[in-house]
Amino acid sequence: MSSLIPAEFFVRVDHQRCRRCKRCVMNCGFGALSFQDRVVADHKKCVACHRCATFCPEGAITIEKNPLAYKESGHWLPEYRKNIMKQAETGGMLLTGMGNDRPYFSYFDHMVLDACQVTNPSIDPLREPMELRTYLGSKPSALEFEEAPDGVRLKTQLAPQVKLDTPMVFGAMSYGSISLNAHRALARAAKEMGILMNTGEGGLHKDLYPFSDRIIVQVASGRFGVNQEYLNHGAVVEIKIGQGAKPGIGGHLPGEKVSQEVSETRMIPLGTDALSPAPHHDIYSIEDLAQLIYALKEATNWTRPVSVKIAAVHNVAAIASGIARAGADIIYIDGFRGGTGAAPTIIRDHVGIPIEMALAAVDDRLRKEGIRNRVSLICAGGIRHAGDMAKAIALGADAVAIGTAALIAMGCHVCQKCHTGNCSWGIATQRPELVRRLDPELAAEHLCNLIRAWSLELKEILGALGVNAVESLRGSRERLRGVGLSRVDLDILGIKPAGR
């Protein structure tokens, strides 16, 4: 029986303007368009990725929401009805891609930054130096110096540090969930801009070895592609415990996406399912986590910072404290808006907490325990612009990770169909004819532009705040005010309401 679910979108082709070049037909990764004397759309297959509309030379295509799909209801939203119909037809869990798209309250949108007026001069970042450099790694509680023949020398032995030219890294996205060309672009841009890319849990393709000093290599529960050579090719080694889009849930790369190259990179046979169990089965406690952290430090001869990535969940502050005490150098916290290549919709949309709350709680807890210096905090999960970044830094982040924003810079139109592997933009796909569409050089250029633009904006914000280094904003919650937040919200965020 064919599906009775109404189409979500209509593909409108203006046949007056269409010159039948069939470019749209070739460009659709989802098979929604065909040519039968003229362009014909199978509306049900359209996901609104806008590839056809973008590349139509005549501008003859528009994508519309199906206006009459469902009778209005404030409770039984069209989304829910469509999902129930789909599940009634298949009996399966719903899968989705990218981050939580539900209209939850945004704390970022209810916080504003301070600026200098009259009594405390602002700084013009165009004329005066403005420092964005950030070092990721554990910092000592105190520094000791000693006399040396050539003057004074630092006696304290510093833990390994990794330099960022601007307080941003690319979020963890595996080769498998995204294409090799997307990985190439991220690596190039990371190198060019002095930041880091993150392999995710799918291993590191040999083509990216030249970018080793700009790569975070992940070790997840499936240990795909993890061997000594892999660990040696990372500037940071990261233990992936959780992901904001699917806290407590493992990963599952279906065999269809395990192509020859993916198979070589993950070191698993061609076409087999790559299952990442939900937990690391050697980690059931903070002590077990410490064991793996130190195993990785041993394996890399104590030359790399070890990061631990977790999803923002209810107890995140206590968990982060445990992670810091377990010997991690970096904690990467991914909020409930964080993206994914594939996750059950029900988990993505209903599990985890906002990054703003998680970050404030973690920073606060670590400070109160006197161990904030032991770890760098990377926060992620829905950072949309330099304003979000500046607010996150003021709440206590050392750096932010951007995943979805980076994908959009490469061409992603956020259609949330990453899990299908049909990405028309050549990003979240392994189909060779689609992957070819993404020019790694051009995509890297766009990524560099984005990083540059956000860095300029961050400098403007810092200048307005009257500080000349991003360090001066870090954890400076006095520079934030809440608008329309409850007392409890303000208390957790550690900020005052506007007007106070």
Q: Site residues (CB under 8 A) for other proteins?
A: 86-87, 89-95, 219, 221-223, 226-228, 231, 252, 254-255, 267-269, 272-273, 275, 277, 281-282, 291-292, 294-296, 298-302, 344, 420
Task: Tell me how far apart the 2 most distant CA atoms of the chain are, in Å.
Answer: 86
If the CB atoms of residues 124 and 273 are measured against other proteins, the closer one turns out to be: 273
Q: Number of C-alpha atoms within 13 angstroms, CB side, residue 80? A: 9
Give the integer Cα–Cα distance in Å for 303 and 410: 33
Pairing relation of β-strands 162-164 and 134-136?
A: antiparallel
If the CB atoms of residues 290 and 492 are measured against other proteins, the closer one turns out to be: 290
Smallest distance from other proteins to CB 360, Å? 35
Smallest distance from other proteins to CB 87, Å? 6
Give the integer Cα–Cα distance in Å for 77 and 22: 36
Give the integer Cα–Cα distance in Å for 12 and 43: 9
Give the integer Cα–Cα distance in Å for 89 and 111: 44
Cβ–Cβ < 8 Å for 462, 468: yes
Query: Residues at the annotated binding site?
Result: 18, 21, 24, 28, 46, 49, 52, 56
Give the integer Cα–Cα distance in Å for 500 and 496: 6
**Rounded to whole angstroms, what are the CA distances from 410 to 56, 414, 416?**
19, 11, 15
If the CB atoms of residues 86 and 133 are measured against other proteins, the closer one turns out to be: 86
**Amino acid in the structure at residue 348:** R
Q: What are residue 13's DSSP bridge partners?
A: 61
Query: Residues at the annotated binding site for [4Fe-4S] cluster?
Result: 18, 21, 24, 28, 46, 49, 52, 56
Smallest distance from other proteins to CB 300, Å? 7
Residue by residue, DSSP assigns 277-324 as -SS-TT-SSHHHHHHHHHHHHHHTTT-S-EEEEEE--TTHHHHHHHHH
If the CB atoms of residues 342 and 444 are measured against other proteins, the closer one turns out to be: 342
Task: State the DSSP code for 377.
Answer: E
If the CB atoms of residues 160 and 194 are measured against other proteins, the closer one turns out to be: 160
Smallest distance from other proteins to CB 84, Å? 11
If the CB atoms of residues 93 and 148 are measured against other proteins, the closer one turns out to be: 93
If the CB atoms of residues 300 and 404 are measured against other proteins, the closer one turns out to be: 300
Smallest distance from other proteins to CB 76, Å? 19
**Lookup: tokens for 245:** 């889009």
Helices (H), 95-222: 180-193
Cβ–Cβ < 8 Å for 202, 219: no
Smallest distance from other proteins to CB 5, Å? 11
Task: State the DSSP code for 322.
Answer: H
Smallest distance from other proteins to CB 43, Å? 17
Task: State the DSSP code for 157.
Answer: P
